[in-house]
Chain A
Amino acid sequence: MNELKRIEEEIRSVFALSSYPQDFLSAYDQMECLASHVGRETFLVSKKGSGEMAVAKCYDRAAFPIQPHPELLKDIRHPGLPRFFEQYQNDQILCVVREYIEGEPLSDYVKEKQLTERQIVSFAGQLCEILHVLHGRTPPIIHRDIKPENIIVKPDETLVLIDFDISRAYKEHAGSDTVFFGTKGYAPPEQYGFGQTDTRADLYALGVLLRWMVTGCTRDNPNVTINPGLKKIIDRCTAFSPDERYQSAEEIRLALQKTRTERAPVSAKKRVLVTALMLCALLCGFALGRLSMAFRPAAEISFSEPLIEQAVRAQLGKKSGALTEEDLARVRSIYIFGSETYADPDLFFRQSIDEHAEGPLRTLEDLKKLPNLEEVHVARQGYLDVSALAVLSHVYTVEFKHCRISGVQPIADLSRLRHAGLFDCGVTEVTGLGDCPWLESLDVGYNNLTDLRQVGFHPSLRSLNMMWLRMKNVDEIAERMPKLRVVYLQHSEIKDLSGLKALPELERVEVLGEQFQAVSGLFEGTDVEIRVTEN
């Protein structure tokens, strides 16, 4: 115990010399250092007594060359901006305490989740609204450091713009900025000293950020094809001369709104056909005297497949009552097994074929009504027309089990596809899926695939399920799927597995107990784990 007291004394004496303002240390506990740069540190702090979390930015006056302006945000209340709490200072350090925003920086957020185009447009739109508020102040507030690290994505996917270290109020008669501050890549030319930065500097950075969200690069990348509407906005935001850029955040927001209402490119032929059909429908409406119906504010949505409606309602927790377009926009995934639907994915995955009779689903056309659908899980159906999938641009997981699907091509058309499950789907080849640049896991178990050539080339694939497959060998697997890490082989009757040894990144092979001996012999002396699992 005495030893502990000695340590406490030692720590007390060291911290008695702390350079932070004493009143700051009396009011808050420093919990962690979120960032540290020359002359400034950002701390997560906890208010003594209440435990309320906040963020404190501490500036070393001698080492940080800019005079911070915490007062700029004092009177602004906006959900997209952190609230200013208080400031503490002594001769050496200024500490500014602001609201703590729960969430993660956009720079980290994109590492785990791939942004959809809808999200990108929504995020950019939210930033426009925030900038509209800042730029609308008198004098306007210029942030001057808009970048992914300074944007927090909250759990509800709303954004907050943080870090006003180098922001400043626009001075009408000032000359050029004498010192460069900001982040290279995001800062406009005038921030390097070509002129005084005004609000259009933020609009330039917003354009760069938009390009980064779409392409992953801050510079123009001609190898990436992007939505022409967004490209036009990016190009105009990042024009060299401020005069050629959009002149306000509101202008950009309106331009973004326009891209949101635009649909995916449709061929000219189709466009004519659709327009003609719409005209016909309208004329028929007139003829039948039912025009008022056509203009009803919230048209009732009907499904041709009752099972899909049931799956949608399960997701929404809405057993009865009319479904609105807003409802449908909230549906991200559907789970159907036989004639049952599930809201809970775990429940779906626990089902087995023995417990379910064949379901009545025949087509997936109704899924087109779900604009934000990301995951499709359907099992135990008879012949199933899956052609509607091809246009569901947000879908990244498709899982069919114990179905007879009409073909693989509509699945291969999903540009964001990451996971494809085709267990017992009667497929005889899946080579088309090789065109999906993000495909990470593929389940082709229990299909009539007797040669790897029927599986094809999958450069990005990490996990392959080959359960119940009958093949002579897997000799070319390393050339066809060089990044494979996990292979499932339960019940498979592959005579020669030696090809697996050539996989450079292989980490795990899953087998049945009876297969263990044969497979483990192949990997003796390597780090590859042979795991025995029954399913």
Chain B
Amino acid sequence: MAEEKKISTDELLKLLFKERNLERFLQRNESVYLNTSFSDYISSWCKTHQEVPEHLIRRANLEKSFGHQLFTGKRKPSRDTVIQMAFAMGADVPQTQEMLKIARKSLLYPRIKRDTVVIYCLHNHISLLDAEIILADLNLPILGGKDQ
């Protein structure tokens, strides 16, 4: 991780554009992806970080009861919801990719403009709100705009 932070965002974008092999992300911890559910993952994250789910749900800008259903496993997250959760956790790009894999959603793909905004913001620890502003300014669909 420390290594990655040394890369400038410009360099990161260039690197990401060259990298088309998403399989690399999947090879790491394949067994974790297969055996963990998204609800287990976020619950254990809260436990490890001594966070209450309510805070995470609020930071992810999710509706309260929907958020709690994600924790109990009663509802499954959409791809955008996973990304919103990642922002709320302060996750970096590889961790977000892991979360997407656990939730069985498509990974962030740098050749997509919208995903690039997300990658850029996660990498630079830009807040969810600012990420939404950038998406809106670039006329791209905002996160969680359609689903939940």
Contacts and interface: CB of A to CB of B under 8 A. Distances in A.
Interface of A: 4-5, 7-8, 10-12, 14-15, 18, 29-34, 36, 41, 43-44, 46, 51, 108
Given A4-B130, A34-B106, A11 B113 contact: yes
A442 B20 CA distance: 46
B133 A4 contact: yes
Nearest to B138: A8
B5 to A, nearest CB: 17
Contacts of A29: 114, 140-141
Contacts of B140: 29
B9 interface: yes
Contacts of B133: 4
Given A14-B116, A15-B113, A29-B141, A7 B13 contact: no
Contacts, number: 63
Nearest to B14: A14
Contacts of A8: 134, 137-138
B68 interface: no
A43 B79 CA distance: 14
Given A4-B130, A10-B9, A33 B116 contact: no
A11 B117 contact: yes
10 contacts: A7-B126, A8-B138, A29-B141, A33-B22, A33-B109, A33-B111, A33-B115, A36-B22, A51-B146, A108-B104
B112 interface: yes
A30 B114 contact: yes
Contacts of B17: 14
B63 interface: no
B120 A30 contact: no
Nearest to A30: B112
Nearest to A43: B112
Given A34-B106, A36-B22, A108-B104, A11 B111 contact: no
Contacts of A43: 112
A534 to B, nearest CB: 18
Interface of B: 9-10, 13, 17, 20, 22, 79, 104-107, 109, 111-117, 120, 126, 130, 133-134, 137-138, 140-141, 146
B73 to A, nearest CB: 13
Contacts of A108: 104
B106 A11 contact: no
Contact of B106 (A5, A10, A12, A32): A32
Contacts of B107: 33
Contacts of A32: 79, 105-106, 109, 112, 115
Given A4-B133, A7-B134, A11-B134, 20 more contacts: A4-B130, A7-B120, A8-B134, A8-B137, A11-B113, A11-B117, A11-B120, A11-B138, A14-B116, A30-B114, A31-B141, A32-B109, A32-B115, A33-B22, A33-B111, A33-B112, A41-B111, A51-B141, A51-B146, A108-B104
A506 to B, nearest CB: 15
B146 to A, nearest CB: 7
Contacts of B104: 108
A22 to B, nearest CB: 13
A36 B138 contact: no
Given A10-B13, A14-B17, A36-B22, A30 B134 contact: no
A32 B100 CA distance: 12
Nearest to A104: B104
A100 to B, nearest CB: 13
A14 B9 CA distance: 12
A46 B9 contact: no
B117 to A, nearest CB: 6
Nearest to B17: A14
Contacts of B126: 7
B20 A12 contact: no
Contacts of A44: 106
